[in-house]
Amino acid sequence: MTLLPLPADLQPLSGTFILSPDSVIQAGPDTQQTAGQLADFLRPATGFALPVVERADKTPAIHLELSADLTTGPEGYELEVLPGGVTLRAAAPAGLFYAAQTLRQLLPPAIFSPQVTQADWSMDAVLISDQPRFGWRGQHLDCARHFMPLPFIYKLLDVMALHKLNTFHWHLTDDQGWRLEIERYPRLTEVGAWRKGTRKGHERDPNGQFDNVRHGGFYTQAEARAVVAYAAERHIRVIPEIEMPGHAQAAIAAYPQLGNTGEALEVAQQWGVIEHVFNAEESTITFLQNVLEEVLDIFPSPYIHVGGDECPKTEWRESAAAQARIAALNLPDENALQSYFIARMDTFLQERGRHLIGWDEILEGGLAPHAAVMSWQGEEGGIAAARQGHDVVMVPQTHVYFDYYQSEDQASEPLAIGGYTPLEKVYAYEPIPAELTPEEAKHVLGSQGQLWTEYIATPEHAEYMLFPRLCALSEVLWTPANQKDYADFRQRLTPQLERLQALGVGFRGVD
């Protein structure tokens, strides 16, 4: 068996189940939707239009059942393959959907082909009982530095589902582009979604030039809603990220009153940490809460990401208005002003039944009461937050930043931001820091890959950076820690790459 991520428990049985044009899928009213998805998964490569029926009088059948008393949790499932029939059982629809993903992998990799293919459509008999190790299993995608077309986002969601990932973190705003339509503030996309050019080469290259090619794009609210719906069908929640108070130049270019200097800015063309940040006036907080109001209406996600990283305090230090604000609020310094800013968003989201999440810099001036922390600069921020009783997602750049190089020989790779994160290092990542007590460790929700796109302009390049590292991360997040085995993973990766190939997904070859 070549399942990836490896399931929690698998008992081989004897015999095989042969899928044929006469097979049927049997489902009740509560399992119809997954049954239809399973039929759709199996149709292109086999050419079999398997009917979904309420009662399967004739064999062989694939049965789908929801059973509340199953002990595999909301995302777990049981999958039993016997020569006479297959049964997918789960306590909730997400588990049933993951059982269907496992079933696909029990068939030859050619099952992922979009065209009818000749293959032996049989599955070895087996009993699988499975559930994930972590509840937050994700992938982030920066669509601000380079706009990523919608078909690529749909494709990524499909491949995430295949890896039983459940969280898509959509980075929608940054210095170099604002990518989400906000009806109340049309200039955010009229102006903020477009830049006049892009820095060529690495940002550290002293001879850097600009390409002078206009770049941009944005997602309409209808498009974003369609992404949310498509993801939900695959049991993936979409966490939008609206950056504040830093990484804000595109928004300030659209509405200069949001900045600190009154200076007319353009949407940024260079990378790095930029000093132009939002001011902390009441009017700016209201503006951003009005933006969030529309964001909440589009994204039902329980978590809303407000960024919070890399916010230089230079402008706040030099601005009389910011200093007056610090004094009026009786705050000690600029870090406390950032914490005040984030705390206002925390209250706003909490009142609307949502949770704020931000990068670990939101700890710096004191953590907002309900905030969850995404720990990227290392594990320290996550450890500190978990010890304070806050939920954390562990995303240290050393292990799960997929914009990092995949080879020590950087010249042999496409230009990247830096670092070196080979497949084995991702696979070895352990999201629970040894320093935490079991009680504190319960606050570690999981992890996700990060794909920042300063140097990644196309879906093809994005796929090269994502795969197979995301395959390794899926196993970190799903499989019980004591069953992880890199050599065994590498064996199972070969058919996984054949599956990706059949799906038309690019990947980097394995050393």
Using CB under 6 A, list all residues that contact ligand ACM: 309-310, 359, 376
Our CB check for ligand ACM shows the closer of 123 and 395 to be 395
Distance from chain centroid for Cα 249 = 24
Q: Cβ(468)–Cβ(508) under 8 Å?
A: yes
Q: Which residues pair with 180 in a beta bridge?
A: 219
CB closer to ligand ACM out of 65 and 309: 309
Concerning whether 174 is annotated as a catalytic residue, the answer is: yes
Torsion of CA 156, 135, 223, 219, to 10 degrees: -80
Q: Residue 274: how many CA atoms within 13 Å on its side-chain side?
A: 24
Q: Pick the catalytic residue from 75, 130, 174, 454.
A: 174
Can you tell me the distance from the alpha carbon of 368 to that of 349, in angstroms, rounded to the nearest whole number?
Answer: 12
Least separation in angstroms between residue 276's CB and ligand ACM is 16
Residue number with CB closer to ligand ACM (140 or 325): 140
Q: How far apart are the first and last CA of the chain?
A: 23
Catalytic residue among 124, 275, 309, 310: 310
Q: How far is the CB of 359 from ligand ACM (least distance, A)?
A: 4
**In 3-state terms, what secondary structure has residue 425?**
helix
Q: Which is nearer to ligand ACM, 61 or 385 (CB)?
A: 385
Residue 50: phi and psi, rounded to 5, are -70, 125
SS3 137: strand
Euclidean distance between CA atoms 441 and 248, whole angstroms: 33
The distance of closest approach from Cβ of residue 450 to ligand ACM in the complex, given in angstroms and rounded to an integer, is 7
| C-beta of residue 256 within 8 angstroms of C-beta of residue 196 | no
Distance of closest approach, residue 492 Cβ to ligand ACM, in angstroms = 31
Residue 175 or 346 having the CB closest to ligand ACM: 175
Q: Which residue is nearest to ligand ACM (CB)?
A: 309
The sign one gets for the Cα dihedral 406, 412, 413, 418 is positive
For ligand ACM, the closer CB: 178 or 452: 452
270 neighbors 276 (Cβ within 8 angstroms): no
Which residues have C-beta within 8 Å of that of residue 152, sequence separation ≥ 6?
Answer: 459, 462
Supply the minimum distance, in Å, between the C-beta of residue 336 and ligand ACM.
21
Q: How far is the CB of 377 from ligand ACM (least distance, A)?
A: 8
The catalytically annotated residue of 146, 247, 305, 390 is 247
- Catalytic residue annotation: 174, 247, 310
